[in-house]
Amino acid sequence: MSLRRIEEADPALGAFLTCDPGRVLERAERVDRDVKERPLPLAGVPVAVKDNICTRGLRTTCGSRMLEQYVPPYSATAIERLEAAGAVVVGKVNCDEFAMGSSTENSALQVTRNPYDLDRVPGGSSGGSAVAVAAGMAALALGSETGGSVRQPASFCNVVGLKPTYGRISRYGLVAFASSLDCIAPLGNSPRDIALLLGRIAGRDPLDSTSAPAPVPDYVAELDRPPGRLRLGVPKEYFGQGLDPEVKAAVEAGIRNAGKLGCDVVEVSLPHTRFAIADYYIIAPAEASSNLARYDGVKYGFRAEAPEDLMDMYRRTRTLGFGPEVRRRIMIGTYALSSGYYDAYYGRAMKVRTLIRRDYERAFEKVDALLGPVSPTAAFRIGEKASDPLSMYLSDIYTVTANLAGIPAVSVPCGFTAGGLPIGMQILGNLFQELPLLRLAQAYIREFPVAPPPLRV
């Protein structure tokens, strides 16, 4: 069924970079045999995997010419755990190059389109993951989150996407962009899907020193318990200048509906939100500059042909192998870390990050969760912001702070524009509070379902 749907819909959508039907069917047959001997909670469930998560024997490109032919010799811990539960990886899906982008337009390999409007972006950088779920090509998907890369495409494509607490899911096998921000993150059609997937891949991993030893709840068993009389905060900074009126109206309606679940809704303040984009776009590029230094044409990946000498090989390999957005961020990050500028840029950015984290700590002393928009707009047209990096970066204004603070957040569908484009509302919680978030999201979607318009494919 999944392979048939990929064959039918993906030529128009461009979500999949690698799909090997023979490998998929062989894996499905093995699961059929194994499930007769022991229970497998995800037996036969088709899962699409973002192409920056390593899969042994299956090409992993990061949407980049630099790794276009790279086949990992190992799988990420999250993939190992999924397959141990019986899941079937149906393919690797497109993303912005090295997860750097908000539209999946920065992929060096192909364009991915929104299933609700083929002229619009699916969001990014996990656009392929969101499209695979939204278009029915996979039941579940793995993406990655560094600054909103799962929540924003989930919002644009009318699916549910969870950014977990930093450390909740092992990063082993996730190709590094910004190591203090990166998270593997699940997408599905419902909070129940997310709970099912999260419960299989969360938990401490000795291969990742940043993975947390926190106990993993039984998310599925606890999901349908009433959320109780929660106190929900609405950050006033999330409803100012730049928020599209249709998005604002839909999210405000969603917040009112959340109040009808027996919750108290109050206004709160996150005063350092106005510094979030500037802060993120110093810290993330600085870490990217360090992490991407390994792609030099020597060890693995793309190498420029016939270099004159070692320096020429370095220069031409990185110029030809990286796309313009990746090169831009490497240069920004290198500058921010350079001698004489470190304290003025990176050092100061880390201090602001602490202030942003403290904003959340104070807010969660008063409320159980926070509600707000995911993105200032619904999905924009392909090419609309490609030549305006600042406008593209501002797409992440409401999402980057969760990554800077390390807290969990989930995007749930809350409405559509007059033109039929999906709108998401995000729910943010305190550290390791994924279960209360999913429980609230489940109650919300059950009581206030949104009838989507038909897909374009």
Sequence-ordered list of residues with C-beta below 8 angstroms from that of 269, at least 6 positions apart, any chain: 235, 236, 237, 359, 363
CA gap 277, 139 in Å, rounded:
33
Residue 452 domain-assigned (yes or no): no
CATH number for position 204? 3.90.1300.10
Domain termination site, one of 324, 350, 376: 350
Q: Are residues 365 and 256 in the same domain?
A: yes
Q: Are residues 233 and 90 in the same domain?
A: yes
Q: Are residues 245 and 303 in the same domain?
A: no
Q: Please check whether residue 372 is in contact with residue 235, taking contact to mean a CB–CB distance below 8 angstroms.
A: yes
Residue 342 domain-assigned (yes or no): yes
Is 125 marked active-site? yes
Q: Are residues 254 and 332 in the same domain?
A: no
Q: Are residues 132 and 44 in the same domain?
A: yes
Residue 300 domain-assigned (yes or no): yes
Residue 405 domain-assigned (yes or no): yes
Which parts of 322-453 are beta strand (E)? 369-373, 409-416, 422-428
Residue in 2, 102, 125, 375 annotated catalytic:
125
Is 248 marked active-site? no
Q: Are residues 296 and 255 in the same domain?
A: no
Domain residues for the domain of 310 are: 273-350
Q: What is the pTM for the complete model shown?
A: 0.97
Sequence-ordered list of residues with C-beta below 8 angstroms from that of 79, at least 6 positions apart, any chain: 49, 53, 54, 55, 56, 89, 142, 173
Domain termination site, one of 316, 350, 384: 350
Q: Are residues 327 and 341 in the same domain?
A: yes
Strand order in the sheet with 88-93: 16-18, 88-93, 46-50, 140-145, 183-188, 160-163, 409-416, 422-428, 369-373, 231-235, 264-268
Sequence-ordered list of residues with C-beta below 8 angstroms from that of 343, at least 6 positions apart, any chain: none
Residue 456 domain-assigned (yes or no): no
pLDDT at residue 387, as a whole number: 87
CA gap 285, 337 in Å, rounded:
10
pLDDT at residue 141, as a whole number: 98
Domain termination site, one of 350, 367, 391: 350
Residue in 2, 50, 163, 170 annotated catalytic:
50
pLDDT at residue 299, as a whole number: 86
Q: How many CA atoms lie within 13 A of 343 on its CB side?
A: 1
pLDDT at residue 204, as a whole number: 98
* Residue keyed to tokens 């093995």: 30
Is 50 marked active-site? yes
What value, to the nearest 5°, has the Cα angle with vertex 383 and ends 129 and 239? 75
Residue 438 domain-assigned (yes or no): yes
Residue in 107, 149, 155, 170 annotated catalytic:
149
Q: Are residues 25 and 54 in the same domain?
A: yes
If we measure between CA atoms, which residue out of 57, 59, 118, 121 comes closest to residue 93? 59
pLDDT at residue 400, as a whole number: 98
Q: Are residues 428 and 318 in the same domain?
A: no
Structural domains counted in the chain: 2
Q: Please check whether residue 287 is in contact with residue 180, taking contact to mean a CB–CB distance below 8 angstroms.
A: yes
Q: What CA–CA distances, in Å, run from 392 to 112, 385, 387, 396, 400?
A: 17, 6, 9, 8, 13
* Mean pLDDT per 10-residue section of the chain, whose length is 457 residues: 97 98 97 96 98 98 97 98 98 98 98 98 98 98 98 98 98 98 98 98 98 97 94 97 97 98 97 97 98 94 95 96 98 95 96 98 98 98 93 95 98 98 98 98 96 94
If we measure between CA atoms, which residue out of 21, 120, 103, 4 comes closest to residue 63? 103
Residue 143 domain-assigned (yes or no): yes
| Crossing angle between the packed helical segments 191-201 and 77-84, to the nearest 10 degrees | 110
